[in-house]
Structure 1
């Protein structure tokens, strides 16, 4: 508890680096093992985080810890908040498409406890209660002609930026530390912007919401999930994996939506050819969606 409540900015940042580095590498090793990929085979690395600033970014430390080769392509995505795992996946898909060389390792990692900011203000009480630390990783590659086709195929992405809501959800720097600002309107704003982006993606592919067999909605909180279900017209059953992640892990910011996808893969048994939708939102105000097909 004393460690989490540390208020010295230098020590807080050191804590972010120490724990961010370790849990990101652990998540990456699990993903690599499941994919049957050795670290030296990785051609690209994309890391996103918003809960601490480093230069060089976490990618430098993670590449060292995993033993990745020096010639890999590297991107660090910063400041995109809870929604960042989806643009991370899009960047990884773009890297594959441009270079034709894979695999690419995608990592979302947040040490939300490094942004703990004790206060009696209602939004900070909520923020301190619901956010947790977490990391998730995925290995993306070009689809092979034969053999293992992985767990899912990335079909397309969509995003939206809504600056008029910027001050409703953001980090501010106060006394050298990150202070979260979380307006009570966020559940409604998040649900509406996410639904707008998801609907645009569906329309682009001439799909309806009924064509989506599995939904991975960012588990930002119980009210967030209730509003998202209402806006998207989703049943309790469709939301069960998102609710489960929040109940068991809290809101881990960007890795959360990938935890939901993992839950679907492990507990939902999606059939080959079924479509899924990943939906998240975050600071900016921004919203993201990814259309996938299970393989």
Structure 2
């Protein structure tokens, strides 16, 4: 059995948008100056984020889902290409080396998809295996990473995972009463666009070796977080009860994963926690007893990128790697949450 080691990462973003300017120029009018909306919008821990669609210059809220999907294809392709090329370059590999190409997205679809068009354009072999993971939501990068790990371990060939999300395409129509729809206020305030790619290689020194995974799904909480296809894009439902429900599972799931390897929370050198929102991060930190410096990378990504759905945890992981503070043997935990409700953990080790 081979080892699977994360050796390269690449990222790409559409233009940046200032959170204060988005509120001042667009959303204060659409939410009729509602004080609760303003507090949520400007207090969600985001100062800048990125958008393939900037609502200050282009209003897509009345667009059909078909029109949004057409924009997804044209916007996602160059971002995905940039992220994959960056990850392969970071790992010192070429497209011809890729044995498995996994594409993750819950914000847009087309067939032939990015897994086919990017593989062809970049020059991946016709024999490259492809996998498209769609509509799993914010935690999808981690099951994708786990699947790619299994491939690398058994086949002994490199794999690439691309997470690309364009939630800016899914601004919802503003019907009467929208100024009091807290769930939509949160969705419009929190999410940003991003592409992030990861390269896994077999049996190499350096990088982060993927050690193990642990997941739990609470079906009784399924209605608390949804991502529904409508005639006007995809509509997010995000209940305020989500943090408290996740709190029931964080400690046990993490301890089970770490316990199999003789580790405790105190042994973890890096925490790549999905920034689902400030309260979610606070609840995780409280349940696991994490210090502010241990969640700093998560808050930094939330601040400068927003919640980029499946691309976010890879961005946090990349930030932790680039800080250069990990020593060989240091354990790292990547943690994400999403519909289901689902919590997914991955244990990695610096090499």
Tell me if TM exceeds 0.5: yes
Report the CA distance shift for 1:6/1:25 in structure 2 as closer, same or farther (over 3 A). Answer: farther
Segments of structure 1 that go 5 or more residues without pairing to the other structure are none
- SS of the aligned residue for 1:52 comes to coil
Correspondence for 1:90: 146
Shift of 1:273: 1.1
Correspondence for 1:175: 231
Shift of 1:110: 0.8
Shift of 1:33: 0.5
Which runs of structure 2 are paired with 1:18-167 in the superposition (5 Å)?
18-100=74-156, 102-119=157-174, 120=178, 121-144=181-204, 149-167=205-223
| Number of residue pairs matched by the alignment | 290
Matches of 1:27 and 1:237, distance apart in 2? 28
Shift of 1:268: 4.8
Matches of 1:45 and 1:154, distance apart in 2? 17
For 1:259-292, what per-residue CA distance to the aligned partner results, in whole angstroms no more than 9, with x for missing partners?
Answer: 1111111125211111110000111211111111
For 1:208-243, what per-residue CA distance to the aligned partner results, in whole angstroms no more than 9, with x for missing partners?
Answer: 101111111001111111111111111101000000
Matches of 2:232 and 2:126, distance apart in 1? 33
Correspondence for 1:196: 252
Preserved contact between residue 62 and residue 172 of structure 2 (Cα < 8 Å): no
Matches of 2:102 and 2:276, distance apart in 1? 23
Report the CA distance shift for 1:230/1:105 in structure 2 as closer, same or farther (over 3 A). Answer: same
Report the CA distance shift for 1:129/1:272 in structure 2 as closer, same or farther (over 3 A). Answer: same
Matches of 1:194 and 1:31, distance apart in 2? 30
Shift of 1:28: 0.8
Structure whose alpha-carbon radius of gyration is higher? 2
RMSD: 1.5
Shift of 1:173: 2.2
For 1:64-96, what per-residue CA distance to the aligned partner results, in whole angstroms no more than 9, with x for missing partners?
Answer: 232211100111111211001111110001111
Correspondence for 2:340: 284
Matches of 2:193 and 2:81, distance apart in 1? 14
Preserved contact between residue 172 and residue 232 of structure 2 (Cα < 8 Å): no
Preserved contact between residue 6 and residue 12 of structure 1 (Cα < 8 Å): no
Segments of structure 2 that go 5 or more residues without pairing to the other structure are 1-54
Matches of 2:312 and 2:252, distance apart in 1? 20
For 1:10-29, what per-residue CA distance to the aligned partner results, in whole angstroms no more than 9, with x for missing partners?
Answer: 21001112222221211111
Preserved contact between residue 227 and residue 236 of structure 2 (Cα < 8 Å): yes
Correspondence for 2:308: 252
Matches of 2:296 and 2:146, distance apart in 1? 25
Matches of 1:274 and 1:238, distance apart in 2? 14
Matches of 1:22 and 1:124, distance apart in 2? 29
- SS of the aligned residue for 1:129 comes to helix
For 1:10-60, what per-residue CA distance to the aligned partner results, in whole angstroms no more than 9, with x for missing partners?
Answer: 210011122222212111111100100011111110111111233343211
Task: Give the TM-score normalised by structure 1.
Answer: 0.93
Matches of 2:131 and 2:237, distance apart in 1? 27
